[in-house]
Chain A
Amino acid sequence: MDSFFSIQPLMAVLVSLAAFGLIILFRNRPNLREAVTVIAAVSKLAVVLSMLPDVLGGRYPEITLVNLSPDIGLALRADEAGIIFAMLASMLWVVTSFYSFGYMRGLSAQRQTRFYASFALCLSATIGLAFSANLLTFFLFYEVLTVATYPLVAHKGNPEALAAGRKYLAYLITGGVVLLGAIAYTYQVAGTLDFNAGGFLPQDTAVSSLAILFALFLIGFGFKSAVMPLHSWLPSAMVAPTPVSALLHAVAVVKAGVFGLVRAVGFVLGPEQLHQAGALPFMLAAAAVTIVVASLLAMRQDNLKARLAYSTIGHLSYIVLGLALFDAMGWTGSMMHIVNHGAMKITMFFCAGAIYVRTHFANISQLDGIGHKMPWTMAAFTVAALGLAGVPPVSGFISKWFLVQGTLNLEEFALAGVFLVSGLLNAGYFFPIVYRAFFKKPGTKLVTGEAPLIMLLPIIITAGLSLFFGLFPDAVFGFYELAERVGQSVTGGGW
């Protein structure tokens, strides 16, 4: 694989950074401010997609700016793993932008400029870390993302939101600090921080160093990817406005943590070395426990967003589990689940937001018969629910198929069982919602209809994407091809 100089990765980062400035500049002109958001989102997607043919052709656009530390540049490179994440984030930013106009205006929310500005900064950081070519660059964007998300979590400014913000920071800054230790130690051990498929640690690295690094990375990224017992910030952070929960807490922020694990396991430590050192079972166990426990906890939540949050925790650990399998198919499944879960979960959050805007209902027990009033919304919700439970032809089935194949390749039947049980549990906590919505009599207070089109369309689009990725996993964006290549290059194997 060769790289060539290109400013495209930088452009993708700068587009939303420029939007950050312009949004603040146009703070007194809401229409212009929101136009900036849309233009930035669309052009960001365009820039990211423009790199796709090169990446599929095996050439990585790359650019190095100033040095961050002697020998370590601020370097951006669009490789397969990076572009998967970048495409997902920028694609969903476009739909989320429209959705959030409807949502924020529908609720006449305060401090919208700060909201859109922070949002743009978050996306800039997300794309930056997707394209980071080394760990220090990655860390830079990772920390910016942590800080830029804080105002969004604490957006409402009431005591509950501030408390959630504090918890969020306490968890994620701690994670960042652990991570910084891991990065500095990696540099000490390897003398470089440049990502390399299959890892870059020297072959003769002591097992003790490897174990320390693995533990530090797992804990550091574990905070952001909400692996139990480091997860409890995520349900609290659901006090944020729904577009934030949707894009950031289902896609950008938490997936940044998972993506960090992709980089740490696949591109720093190397699955093979970890496998030989016998370190991977710890990660497998943590992920498996998280999947089951999070699903069980999800059942107990009456608040719709809280249930979605626990579901997110469980599904993130699907991905973590796949990464811990030393197997190309497991990795492929994980990379695809990053995308598929993103599309499905954002649909569900959008639905929750639409319901909230129309009815101010936040609890599942209030949703009796809502499907009659908001048929499109709830139909989209049903599609996503089916997908997360792993029912074909929705995209969740495909990623799960690969993940289960991965466990079977390694003859880890217990883990295959975890996935199957989790599918049932997913059905167990999502289908009652669908049942209530469509088959129960509506309460007397339900008088409203669908959310405005600006909110409904994003819902239908993301639900459509979930189906599309399930039916044609390789079409247009080449997600399957990219995921497979990541899996094979990282594990050094095929099938």
Chain B
Amino acid sequence: MIQNLPILIPISLILFAFLSAFLGVMRFRLSQSVALLGALISLVMAVFGLNHVLQEGAISYHLGGWPPPEGIEFVLDHLSAFMVLVITLVGFILLIFPTRPGFLMDEQRGVPLYAMVLMLIAGLCGVVLSGDLFNLYVFLEIASLSTYALVSLGSGRAAFSSFRYLIMATIGGSFYLLGVGFIYFSVGTLNMADILQHLPAVYDSPAVIGGAVLIVAGIALKMALFPLHTWLPDAHSYAPPIVAAFLAAVQIEVSAYVIIRFLLDVFTPELMTATVPLTTVIGWASAAGIIVASVIAIAQTDFKRMLAYSTVGQVAYIGLGIGLANPLGIVGALLHIMAHALMKSCLFLIAGGVYHKTGIKNINDYKGLGRRMPWTMAAFTVSALAMIGIPPTAGFFSKWYLLLGSFDQSNWVFVGVILGSSLLNAVYFFRLIEKVFAPSEDKVEKGADSRGELSWRMLLPIILFAAGILVVGALNVFIVDRFLMPIVAGF
């Protein structure tokens, strides 16, 4: 049973996706319950898998019994177990959020949505579990296809942004596939472990270098690495809240995972730092992205759009950690994946809940909400402080490791960027905190029905995320020592 976990996780999610759709057609309320059950099962498997990996090492599953390098391999090692845990945990908590505020449509029309979300989760799990380059591409496209559909369901110019995203992500995917082709021509295998063995002999071949560049460029496009981020703000701000949360929290980060995986286990750090300065490019592009995105975020008045730009900046932190290409940098990047997943999900759900309850989208209208929704706004404050990087939240500790990594490299510019961006984040989040807790002048005007706290079903996932931010902060050393250090042990 345990040995089959690498395949069971994505397969069961796909199974539940079908179940959710079929049962949903009969009784539409069932679709969410079934989806939630599926996500819970995958979460439980992820926890068992992680535990097993920590106790006894990686699990390799050979599809159809064909051993690699000929057969398809699924691998649950430290890195993929960590990522699967983040994906399924965030996915599960997000699915608790009710349909109407979460997808902006009623339960009846929402039936196919849950199937698509499960497909998205399955695709992402598949990406991180794949042991070969082509399979990774297949799962990446499964995830992307569900994303296009989900984004297009949003409000405003959602359909247009979805189409634009489709074009951009497809270009990214094609670059990746082309790069994989180059690698395959050079070494004649697609299995990651196998490539790692054979590739160093041909590092100076133009095909390998070209392949590496194409792969990183393609993934950077999907990761919205500055300046390839232009599709993201539209797609994420028009998408329904749950979708936006899932994209910002997990989907983008899985692209970052792909780069980390290539850096550590496919190419060796040598190829990506010494032979071709790919990590350096990623690092500096990210450093610029952090600053630019934060400045643009300050100028936004729509809350979700501000969050979308903030995502560009936050993902760039992960890119910066990759750019450092040292153990502390990667640890910081991975911890930031987890921290950012929690805080950004929390914030998008709050945006969705507040919009549902009061119709407020604009930052300026958040005035006085602290009094009306004390719990929601307490959670908001926690996530906002985490975004700024105030201890003891999770957001502080990921920055702390990135900072140590930058000092390790004596990269003073990165130090300045990490520190300076905290100030920029403080500007746009404290602006909101100030509004939220300032006394509101127009209590009467908004009408009686717009008052009061969110319903408990909306509140529950929000509070869970906020609590998670504090727990991850308090337990960061446990996570770093147990989960993350083994990943970078090879450095």
Chain A residues positioned under 8 Å from B426 (CB to CB): 169, 173
Contact A185–B477 (Cβ < 8 Å): no
Chain A residues positioned under 8 Å from B397 (CB to CB): 68-69
Contact B385–A110 (Cβ < 8 Å): no
B426 vs chain A, min Cβ distance (A) = 5
By a beta-carbon cutoff of 8 Å, the part of chain B in contact with chain A is 385, 388, 390-392, 396-397, 400-401, 403-404, 407-408, 415, 419-420, 422-423, 426, 430, 434, 437-439, 474-478, 480-481
Contact A69–B391 (Cβ < 8 Å): no
Contact B400–A69 (Cβ < 8 Å): yes
A67 to B473: give the CA distance in the assembly, Å.
10
Task: Sample 24 A-B pairs with CB under 8 A, ordered by A number.
Answer: A66-B478, A68-B392, A68-B477, A69-B400, A69-B476, A69-B477, A70-B477, A70-B480, A70-B481, A110-B439, A111-B439, A143-B391, A157-B438, A162-B434, A162-B438, A165-B434, A177-B419, A177-B422, A178-B419, A180-B400, A181-B403, A184-B400, A188-B404, A188-B407
Contact A174–B404 (Cβ < 8 Å): no
Chain A residues positioned under 8 Å from B385 (CB to CB): 147
Contact A67–B477 (Cβ < 8 Å): yes
Residue of A nearest to B385 (CB): A147
Contact B403–A184 (Cβ < 8 Å): yes
Please tell me which one of the listed residues A66, A147, A165, A177 contacts residue B423 in the complex, with CB atoms under 8 A apart.
A177
Most chain-A CB neighbours within 10 Å: which of B400, B401, B474?
B400
Contact A180–B403 (Cβ < 8 Å): yes
Contact B439–A177 (Cβ < 8 Å): no
A140 to B426: give the CA distance in the assembly, Å.
17
A243 vs chain B, min Cβ distance (A) = 19
Residue of B nearest to A179 (CB): B419
A157 to B441: give the CA distance in the assembly, Å.
11
B327 vs chain A, min Cβ distance (A) = 11
Known: A139-B391, A154-B434, A188-B404. 12 other contacts (CB 8 A): A70-B477, A143-B396, A147-B390, A151-B437, A157-B439, A166-B434, A173-B430, A181-B419, A184-B400, A184-B404, A184-B407, A184-B415
A187 within 8 Å of B by Cβ?
yes
A299 within 8 Å of B by Cβ?
no
Chain B residues positioned under 8 Å from A169 (CB to CB): 426, 430
Residue of B nearest to A188 (CB): B407
Chain A residues positioned under 8 Å from B420 (CB to CB): 177
A144 within 8 Å of B by Cβ?
yes
Contact B474–A174 (Cβ < 8 Å): no
Please tell me which one of the listed residues A68, A70, A143 contacts residue B390 in the complex, with CB atoms under 8 A apart.
A143
B261 vs chain A, min Cβ distance (A) = 24
Please tell me which one of the listed residues A140, A150, A177 contacts residue B392 in the complex, with CB atoms under 8 A apart.
A140
Question: Which residues of chain A in 195-241 are interfacial with respect to chain B, using CB atoms and an 8 Å cutoff?
Answer: none
Question: Which residues of chain A in 137-172 are interfacial with respect to chain B, using CB atoms and an 8 Å cutoff?
Answer: 139-140, 143-144, 147, 150-151, 154, 157, 162, 165-166, 169
Number of interface residues of A (CB under 8 A): 30
Chain B residues positioned under 8 Å from A140 (CB to CB): 391-392
A69 to B398: give the CA distance in the assembly, Å.
10
Chain B residues positioned under 8 Å from A181 (CB to CB): 403, 415, 419
Residue of A nearest to B389 (CB): A180
Complex A-B, nearest 10 residue pairs according to Cβ-Cβ distance, in ascending order:
A67-B477, A188-B407, A140-B391, A157-B439, A184-B403, A177-B419, A173-B426, A143-B390, A181-B419, A157-B438
Chain A residues positioned under 8 Å from B430 (CB to CB): 150, 166, 169, 173
A188 to B400: give the CA distance in the assembly, Å.
12
By a beta-carbon cutoff of 8 Å, the part of chain A in contact with chain B is 66-70, 110-111, 139-140, 143-144, 147, 150-151, 154, 157, 162, 165-166, 169, 173-174, 177-178, 180-181, 184-185, 187-188
A157 to B433: give the CA distance in the assembly, Å.
12
Q: Decide if the interface of chain A is mainly helix, strand, loop or mixed.
A: helix
Residue of A nearest to B408 (CB): A188
Chain A residues positioned under 8 Å from B408 (CB to CB): 188
Chain B residues positioned under 8 Å from A111 (CB to CB): 439
Chain B residues positioned under 8 Å from A66 (CB to CB): 474-475, 477-478
A265 vs chain B, min Cβ distance (A) = 22
Most chain-B CB neighbours within 10 Å: which of A150, A154, A173, A184?
A184
Residue of B nearest to A140 (CB): B391
A165 to B481: give the CA distance in the assembly, Å.
39
Chain B residues positioned under 8 Å from A144 (CB to CB): 390-392
B234 vs chain A, min Cβ distance (A) = 31
Chain B residues positioned under 8 Å from A162 (CB to CB): 434, 438
A151 to B377: give the CA distance in the assembly, Å.
14
A71 vs chain B, min Cβ distance (A) = 9
B32 vs chain A, min Cβ distance (A) = 33
Chain B residues positioned under 8 Å from A185 (CB to CB): 407
A64 vs chain B, min Cβ distance (A) = 12
B321 vs chain A, min Cβ distance (A) = 15
B158 vs chain A, min Cβ distance (A) = 35
A174 to B421: give the CA distance in the assembly, Å.
11
Residue of A nearest to B388 (CB): A173
A177 to B437: give the CA distance in the assembly, Å.
24
Most chain-A CB neighbours within 10 Å: which of B396, B401, B477, B480?
B477
B222 vs chain A, min Cβ distance (A) = 32
Chain A residues positioned under 8 Å from B419 (CB to CB): 177-178, 180-181
A29 to B388: give the CA distance in the assembly, Å.
34
A140 to B473: give the CA distance in the assembly, Å.
11
B228 vs chain A, min Cβ distance (A) = 28
A180 to B397: give the CA distance in the assembly, Å.
12
Residue of A nearest to B438 (CB): A157
Chain B residues positioned under 8 Å from A68 (CB to CB): 391-392, 397, 476-477
Residue of A nearest to B374 (CB): A24
B486 vs chain A, min Cβ distance (A) = 13
A391 to B215: give the CA distance in the assembly, Å.
76
Residue of B nearest to A110 (CB): B439
Residue of B nearest to A147 (CB): B390
A150 to B436: give the CA distance in the assembly, Å.
13
A182 vs chain B, min Cβ distance (A) = 10
A184 to B403: give the CA distance in the assembly, Å.
7
A150 to B419: give the CA distance in the assembly, Å.
21
Chain B residues positioned under 8 Å from A165 (CB to CB): 434
Chain A residues positioned under 8 Å from B400 (CB to CB): 69, 180, 184
B405 vs chain A, min Cβ distance (A) = 10
A317 to B283: give the CA distance in the assembly, Å.
42
Chain B residues positioned under 8 Å from A154 (CB to CB): 434, 437-438
Residue of A nearest to B401 (CB): A69
Most chain-B CB neighbours within 10 Å: which of A154, A166, A173?
A173
Chain A residues positioned under 8 Å from B423 (CB to CB): 173-174, 177
A143 to B475: give the CA distance in the assembly, Å.
19
B381 vs chain A, min Cβ distance (A) = 9
A361 to B147: give the CA distance in the assembly, Å.
63
Most chain-B CB neighbours within 10 Å: which of A68, A110, A157, A166?
A68
B202 vs chain A, min Cβ distance (A) = 38
Chain B residues positioned under 8 Å from A110 (CB to CB): 439
A469 vs chain B, min Cβ distance (A) = 34
B226 vs chain A, min Cβ distance (A) = 22
A436 vs chain B, min Cβ distance (A) = 36
A477 to B250: give the CA distance in the assembly, Å.
55
A478 to B392: give the CA distance in the assembly, Å.
34
Chain B residues positioned under 8 Å from A178 (CB to CB): 419
Most chain-A CB neighbours within 10 Å: which of B391, B408, B476?
B391
A179 to B120: give the CA distance in the assembly, Å.
42
Chain A residues positioned under 8 Å from B396 (CB to CB): 143
Please tell me which one of the listed residues A143, A151, A157, A187 contacts residue B404 in the complex, with CB atoms under 8 A apart.
A187
Residue of A nearest to B437 (CB): A151
A185 to B426: give the CA distance in the assembly, Å.
22
A103 vs chain B, min Cβ distance (A) = 20
Residue of B nearest to A158 (CB): B439
Chain B residues positioned under 8 Å from A69 (CB to CB): 397, 400-401, 404, 476-477, 480
Chain B residues positioned under 8 Å from A143 (CB to CB): 390-391, 396
A476 to B25: give the CA distance in the assembly, Å.
78
Residue of B nearest to A68 (CB): B477
Chain B residues positioned under 8 Å from A157 (CB to CB): 438-439
A277 vs chain B, min Cβ distance (A) = 21
